[in-house]
Amino acid sequence: MDDKGSVGKISISSDSVSTLNSEDFVLVSRLGDETPSSTNNGSDDEKTGLKVRMVGSDESSSEGSPCSPIPDEDSVVFSQLTYLGCASVNAPRSEVEALRMMSILRGQCQLPLDVTLSVPGVSEGTVRLLDPHNSTEIANYPIYKILFCVRGHDGTPESDCFAFTESHYNSEIFRIHVFRCQIQEAVSRILYSFATAFRRSARKTVLLSQQAAPLTPDSDLFTFTVSLEIKEDDGKGTFSAVAKDKDKQSFKLRAGMDKKIVIYVQQTSNKELAIERCFGLLLSPGKNVKNSDMHLLDLESMGKSSDGKSYIITGSWNPNTPQFQAVNEETPKDKFMYMTTAVDLVITEVEEPVRFLLETRVRVCSPNDRLFWPFSKRSYTETFYLKLRQMERKERKSPASDTLYEVVSLESETEREKRKTTAIFTLCVCMSLCLDNDEPLLSGSGDVSKECAEKILETWGELLSKWHLNLSVRPKQLPALVRSGIPEALRGEVWQLLAGCHNNDHQVEEYRTLITKESPQDSAITRDINRTFPAHDYFKDTGGDGQDSLYKICKAYSVYDEEIGYCQGQSFLAAVLLLHMPEEQAFSVLVKIMFDYGLRDLFKQNFEDLHCKFFQLERLMQEYIPDLYNHFLNVGLEAHMYASQWFLTLFTAKFPLYMVFHIIDLLLCEVCACFTLMFFFQQTSKDDLIQTDFEGALKFFRVPVPKRYRSEENAKKLMELACSMKISQKKLKKFEKEYHTMREQQEQQEAPIERYERENRRLQEANMRLEQENDDLAHELVSSKIALRKDLDNAEEKADALNKELLLTKQKLVESEDEKRRLEEESAQLKEMCRRELDKSESEIKKNGSIIGEYKQICSQLSERLEKQQTATRGELDKIRVSCCEKCSALFNKEGRVRAALTSAPAGEAEETDEEKESLKNQLREMELELAQTKLQLVEAECKIQDLEHHLGLALNEVQAAKKTWFNRTLSSIKTVTGTQGKETT
């Protein structure tokens, strides 16, 4: 680490610590100028404020409960940490990938977990996550499984975070765990503790190496790792290591360049055996070469490395010599070849020399080619298992050594894997599923006509109409029509009906949810999408609609079926379905085929069911075409070498689309159609196959057979022939029983040690799986407890708030009841006052009514009297006019009035008449005045009555509104709630 606090990497090789199991630990940290000291036991770090507790072997923690785990020796316990979660990673030693996952988990974590971290001081220890409240263990991770540790960059939101990756279950699955420190400066202290653990382990290993190695259960098995490095002349007088393609695992060599071979041999288990010398470094082009074909190289140096861990052999290689001409010519693009390297070593305590053989891929390119980014690795490493037997003195040729061993077997990791049936089969499956660029027929080729005779369409139309009336029962004439082939225009509908996906709304909704989730096989799916149906226009464009829909279906199924996940070749079947229906329906039919038609069973239990299918196929050959069966037996051709792709992809990978679609027709209608087709593939090609050898037969199945059925006529003949013969289920069941019986006998005849080893491996895998499930359940339990505790706290806070609100509501209720009583009293008083005023107004109205009546009566009397007087006056005038002369009539006008006071009437009578008239007029004016006053009083009384009625209405409205206020409604609801709660409490 530099003094400026820049990024530093501390690499501790696992070679010095046997418990690391050949894993390397890389620690990436950004420490400050001052390295934290590890001697302040039991004190807080002055710089960071982090609470650190050192626990030694002779200390006892008083903080832990009786059930608390005992920390490792010299462990360091860190508090004030938050666990943000974990995720799967594909590149466990990539800092960029680790920082990316750290950013994602920090941003998406919704329920962080407060933890205490215990870091051991030795590599044999375990990193533990503890509950800070009671010191109980939440999870643990052995140090030897931790591969990489990194902290967030300064100046970023992740600067207070750190993470480490660990191998989960096995070396193929890796997880990253992310933590956040409440004190940012504490991250450096924590990472320093990880580095300290491995420094102490390195010192401790030196002392242990001086002691005798303890015996192990496999005390006769010695493990060696042998690494091959190729160096080339860079034209500057030095030799640089040749790059190796990390995807294809092949060395990239340049033609005509001088080279060196460097071999590193290191023992990794059991008692150390001293390598005395190397007496031969050999090289040969090719694979599985004979000893006579190997060529010696000139040895330049040999001896132990500076750290004493490895034995290094260096030899010069001149590629221009004739024997190496094959690896000195440029290799065609996308091709490679094999090269075999061997080293012969003399080991002091082993009686005979030991040869380590390495087979590697190489590609030869032009001398002007430059290195680009996919070429990163520099060496090829193989693990060898050397089984020795200690010889007795009488058996030894030389009694010089006290202990002398005899070589029982020497086996590489690759050879060991090849011995396993599952691994051999998996390799064959992968080879058969991979697309070969030399193949003349690409998958997805062949045109399919949508034309169909009208009679056939009418027949299918009638059948579908009847079928839709009762979808649970297939029509009787359906199998016969399917054998002739479903019309292309109807295939999408009929396939869904045959698979039972006519009512799949639930599956469609589930599919839309599944495509939003992450898939652990995302990289494998993406890699296979471009290889699926490259000859078809819908799927050939990278990033097009076809590839996008195909990717989503494969991803959704890998999430839906976690046990199987994504299987290589599954994309071909999904592509066939996509050509006939939308992706939601295609996913539903794919699920039905995998589960209901038993396709997923082929991938379960180490492909046990698939091996059973191979056995059944071979037994059918033995019974029906024994001459071809015997020929395959003689050339060593087994069914899994050519039929694996047929079973796993249902013939969808290589054959023309017309034939593929017809095969799916038969499969959905008759499950055993695959056996029939495979049998007739062999029977129709029997004469050609008998004339071939092992490689020729494989090539025949791969190239000529699909090519033969590009003709629609040939495909129809084959399908008709296959449909004409039925293989009984009883016979297949019989062959299945024979297979299981044979497997039981093989297991019984198997060596007990191998059987126990296999059973032990199975139990170990089950144990690791159960341990992980236990860890997950413990983590889930702790998370659930924390969530429940938070929910309980929130509920208590909410209850307190409701109690306070209830008290305030009760107080408001009392005040409202008082106000209600006051308003009721005021309303009663107002009603009484209104009633009195109303009675008074009614009496006045009656009085005024009587006055008006009297006035009307007087007026009517006066009117009658006046009319009588006027009538009498007119009568008298008429008499006067009649009886008077002209002189007298001149005294009166037309109205009968006297024109002038020329009459000789007595003055007293005239005055009396005038006085009477005047008195009548005065009386009339008085009565009119009284009448006016009475009318005015009446109007005032009516106005006053209306005013009182208005006040009464307002008062009644106020009283009614007071009864219907929001407070009364709230009060009534509270009374209802409190009454309900009281009943529940009771």
pLDDT of 979 reads 64
Residue 313 has pLDDT above 90, yes or no: yes
pLDDT of 737 reads 85
pLDDT of 28 reads 35
pLDDT of 64 reads 34
Instruction: Tell the residue number behind the tokens 């029997």, with chain if given.
Output: 686
What is the rounded distance in angstroms from the CA atom of residue 589 to the CA atom of residue 507? 10
Q: What is the mean pLDDT of residues 275-302?
A: 86
What are 574-594's pLDDT values in tens digits?
888 898 888 888 898 888 888
Residue 975 has pLDDT above 60, yes or no: yes
Kindly list the distances between the CA atom of residue 35 and the CA atoms of 182, 185, 267, in Å, as whole numbers in the listed order.
20, 12, 35
- Of 608-612, 878-882, 916-920, minimum mean pLDDT range: 878-882
pLDDT of 35 reads 36
DSSP symbols for 683-739: HHTHHHHHT--HHHHHHHHHTHHHHHTTSHHHHHHHHHHHHH----HHHHHHHHHHH
What are 360-371's pLDDT values in tens digits?
888 888 877 655
More confident residue, 62 or 599: 599
Q: Which CATH architecture does the domain made up of 454-499+605-727 adopt?
A: Orthogonal Bundle (1.10)
Q: What is the mean pLDDT of residues 944-960?
A: 80
More confident residue, 965 or 36: 965
What are 440-459's pLDDT values in tens digits?
467 777 767 777 788 888 88
pLDDT of 423 reads 39
pLDDT of 370 reads 59
What is the rounded distance in angstroms from the CA atom of residue 874 to the CA atom of residue 897? 10
Residue 806 has pLDDT above 80, yes or no: yes
More confident residue, 894 or 415: 415
Q: Is CATH 2.30.29.30 the classification given to domain 75-201?
A: yes
pLDDT of 736 reads 82
What is the rounded distance in angstroms from the CA atom of residue 600 to the CA atom of residue 500? 18
Positive or negative, the CA dihedral 628, 633, 635, 639 is positive
What are 141-150's pLDDT values in tens digits?
888 778 888 8
Cα dihedral 90, 95, 96, 97 in deg (nearest 10): 20
What are 594-650's pLDDT values in tens digits?
888 878 887 776 677 778 888 877 888 888 888 888 888 888 888 778 777 777 777
What are 67-103's pLDDT values in tens digits?
334 444 567 888 889 988 888 887 787 888 888 888 8
Residue 217 has pLDDT above 70, yes or no: no
Residue 216 has pLDDT above 50, yes or no: no
pLDDT of 980 reads 52
Delimit the domains of the chain by residue range: 75-201, 221-426, 454-499+605-727, 503-576, 806-860
Find out whether 90 and 78 touch, Cβ atoms under 8 Å.
no
Judged on CB neighbours under 10 Å (0-12, 13-18, 19+), 721 is middle
Give this prediction's pTM: 0.39
What is the rounded distance in angstroms from the CA atom of residue 678 to the CA atom of residue 613? 11
Instruction: Tell the residue number behind the tokens 């639930």, with chain if given.
Output: 506
When pLDDT is cut at 50, 70 and 90, the band that residue 261 belongs to is: very high
> Do the domains at 454-499+605-727 and 503-576 have one common CATH topology?
no
Ramachandran area for residue 303 (φ above 0: left; ψ -120 to 50: alpha; else beta): left
Tokens of 532: 């699926």
Q: What would the CATH number be for the domain defined by 503-576?
A: 1.10.8.270
Residue 828 has pLDDT above 50, yes or no: yes
Residue 231 has pLDDT above 60, yes or no: yes
Residue 972 has pLDDT above 80, yes or no: no
When pLDDT is cut at 50, 70 and 90, the band that residue 809 belongs to is: very high
What are 456-508's pLDDT values in tens digits?
888 888 888 888 888 888 888 888 888 888 888 888 888 888 888 877 778 88
Provide the mean pLDDT of the chain: 75
Judged on CB neighbours under 10 Å (0-12, 13-18, 19+), 42 is exposed
What is the rounded distance in angstroms from the CA atom of residue 578 to the CA atom of residue 191? 51
pLDDT of 199 reads 60
Among candidate residues 634, 666, 660, the one with its CA nearest the CA of residue 646? 660
What are 162-193's pLDDT values in tens digits?
998 887 654 557 788 899 998 877 888 888 88
Residue 12 has pLDDT above 70, yes or no: no
Q: What is the mean pLDDT of residues 822-839?
A: 89
